[in-house]
Amino acid sequence: MTTVFDDAVTRLEKLGSDANISSNVLASLSRPKALLSVSIPVRMDDGSTQYFAAYRCQYSSLLGPCKGGIRFHPNVNQDEVQALALWMTIKCAVVGLPLGGGKGGIEVDPKTLSRMELERLSRGYMRAMADFVGPNKDIPAPDVYTNARIMGWMRDEFEEIKREKQPAVITGKPVNMGGSLGREEATGRGAFYCLEFLRKKEQKQANDLTVAIQGFGNAGYHIAKLMQENGYKIVAISDSKGAIYSEQGLDIASIWQEKQTSKKLRAIYCNGSVCEIQDHKEISHQELLALDVDILVPAALENAITMDNVDTINAKYIIEVANGPISKDADEQLFSNGVVIVPDVLANAGGVIVSYFEWVQNRAGFPWTLDEVQQRLFDRLENAFEEMWLYKKGNDQTSFRSAAYAKALGHIEEVIKVRGTKEFFSDADD
Ligand code: NAD
């Protein structure tokens, strides 16, 4: 069986060789630099002790300290963490950050834990990782089912251990604990900017475009909100439990507000405090992916689209807000069907860009305004998007993903060369 990491490495090798990247460089990027696998004991509220498998992968530090989120999910495993850390390596290089790639995770269903259990687990993770991570080594951040509060607990635990203030050890913290303004919405906002750059190139009007969004968490909600505010019609959204569809369009702010209170995804429209259920249909996860919409936004987990369901996809544009939502073979098929895909390593890079801004602000001890954060995010993504666009134009038959990998791998290759020849590199490919 092909694992998600195998698939990620096969894609790296294919796109790297298409871009004439040295085989030595590709070999060095086909395995992680370091991986720590631990078991975290947690005292549960009933007095028992449970053990949770947890990981941190430092994939590559060629461009700088490793950077990447921590995921809490029942399906977290070493293979997935490695794949996510490989994509972080590419992503940081695509948008020109002086950072390498990392990722971490705990195999847990956080919805089954009390708040105190969740805090003990989060602090236990940082205790286990305290010698592995650090502001100059590896800087974690939030990912699926982790949030600012958890980042705050982890910062606090790290500082207790080190007996000094180290705000830059982790990003995505609460703003009053050294977090950056604009970090929470950054992934969705960055993806929205990428969509807007594409829409303008394709000369489309937002009001004419329909959208389906898979995953209504931090990233999915923020892109949905910005899209609706700017005229796109969101006809369907889903979460882990199901999906809703309304031909006339869904009201994102009301649905989000409802989900925060009832934890349910309901097609609701609120005018002030008066809310009513909207005319809608409940559809399956697969039906949402197959909708005949202009834009599909996968914003949940890996492998939403594989060879098993690729033939059902009808969208003309896909904005990959999730990491790795399309398998390599399915991606190639969609490309040959003419679907335009903005890949994860560009579309969701807003999160790591503003995490980088947070790290810079922490190190400088000088916080930025929200306007500064948003403007710098916009500029960085616009530059990266333009580069991909020009590369695509100059290389007929190329996808945004090929352009992104060519840029990232070319940059890493240059850095390897200027760092000097180490014994494990021959100069045969120079
Ligand atoms: P989150 O925990 O806030 O939300 C995840 C959402 O996905 C939830 O609404 C959950 O119900 C939904 N979901 C889970 N399984 C699903 C399924 N099978 N079908 C439909 N929905 C499902 O997580 P997030 O931070 O929004 O992350 C979502 C994706 O974006 C992940 O792939 C993550 O790696 C990626 N990402 C997040 C960030 C960030 O800053 N948070 C940055 C870059 C990339």
With both helix axes pointing from N to C terminus, report the angle between 4-18 and 400-419 in degrees, rounded to the nearest 10: 80
Domains and CATH numbers, the chain: 33-177 (3.40.50.10860), 180-360+375-430 (3.40.50.720)
What digits encode the pLDDT tens for the residues 158-178? Answer: 999 999 999 999 999 999 999
What digits encode the pLDDT tens for the residues 58-84? Answer: 999 999 999 999 999 999 999 999 999
**Of all protein residues, whose CA lies closest to atom 28 belonging to ligand 1?**
300
Q: What is the pLDDT of residue 427?
A: 55
Query: How sure is the predictor about 3, in pLDDT bands with cuts at 50, 70 and 90?
Result: very high
Q: Which atom of ligand 1 is nearest to the CA of 344?
A: 44
Long-range Cβ contacts of 383-390 (<8 Å, 24+ apart)? 383/96, 384/94, 384/95, 384/96, 384/346, 384/349, 385/193, 385/194, 385/197, 385/198, 385/346, 386/197, 388/346, 389/197, 389/201
Distance 430 CA to ligand 1 centre (A): 41
Active site residues: 103
Ligand 1 residue neighbourhood (C-beta within 6 Å)? 142-145, 187, 214-220, 238-240, 285, 299-301, 321-323, 348, 351
Distance 188 CA to ligand 1 centre (A): 11
Q: What is the pLDDT of residue 126?
A: 98
Give the CA dihedral 144, 150, 152, 158, nearest 10 degrees.
Answer: -100
